[in-house]
C-alpha cells in the first residue's frame, strides 16, 4: 500500500462526497437490518411470553405461588444432585466472638 502524506490524506477525507447511489444503498441496507432486528426482537418476546405462560402452568400444578419460587427450588434441587460439594458460609469471627462475650456476661 503506498504511503500517503497526512496533508494529502486530510484533503481526500475533506473532499469525500457520498453519491446518491451509495446513500440509497446504505439507507436500504440500514432499513433492512432494522426490520430484521425488529422481527427478531418481536419473536423473542413472543417466545418469552409463551415460556413464562408454561412456567406459570407448571408452578400452579406443583403448588408454587409464583414462577420465581419454582425456579429457585429447581435450582436448589439441581445443585443438590449435581454439585460435588455443598458450600456453606461460616459465621464471621467477629460475630462468634461477640456471641461468646455476651454469653459469658449472662
Task: Give me the residue spans of the domains in the chain.
Answer: 10-105
- Taking CA atoms, 69 is separated from 62, 88, 91, 96, in Å, by 11, 21, 26, 32
Taking the C-alpha atoms of residue 35 and residue 29, their distance in angstroms, rounded to an integer, is 10
The pTM of the full predicted model, rounded to 2 decimals, is 0.38
User: Which cell numbers hold the place of 26?
Assistant: 446504505
Per-residue pLDDT of the chain (106 residues; tens, 9 = 90+): 567 677 776 776 677 777 888 888 888 999 999 999 889 989 988 888 888 888 888 888 888 888 888 888 888 888 777 766 555 655 554 545 545 555 555 5
Q: Which residues contact 18 (CB under 8 A, 6 or more apart)?
A: 26
Q: What is the dihedral of CA 29, 30, 35, 41, to 10 degrees?
A: 130
Amino acid at each position: 500500500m503506498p504511503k500517503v502524506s497526512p496533508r494529502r490524506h486530510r484533503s481526500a477525507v475533506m473532499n469525500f462526497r457520498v453519491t446518491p447511489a451509495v446513500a440509497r444503498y446504505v439507507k436500504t441496507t440500514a432499513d433492512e437490518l432494522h426490520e430484521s432486528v425488529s422481527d427478531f426482537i418481536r419473536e423473542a418476546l413472543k417466545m418469552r411470553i409463551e415460556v413464562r405462560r408454561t412456567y406459570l402452568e407448571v408452578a400452579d400444578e406443583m403448588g408454587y405461588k409464583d414462577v420465581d419460587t419454582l425456579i429457585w427450588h429447581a435450582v436448589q434441587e439441581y445443585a443438590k444432585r449435581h454439585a460435588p460439594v455443598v458450600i456453606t458460609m461460616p459465621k464471621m469471627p467477629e460475630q462468634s466472638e461477640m456471641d461468646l462475650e455476651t454469653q459469658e456476661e449472662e
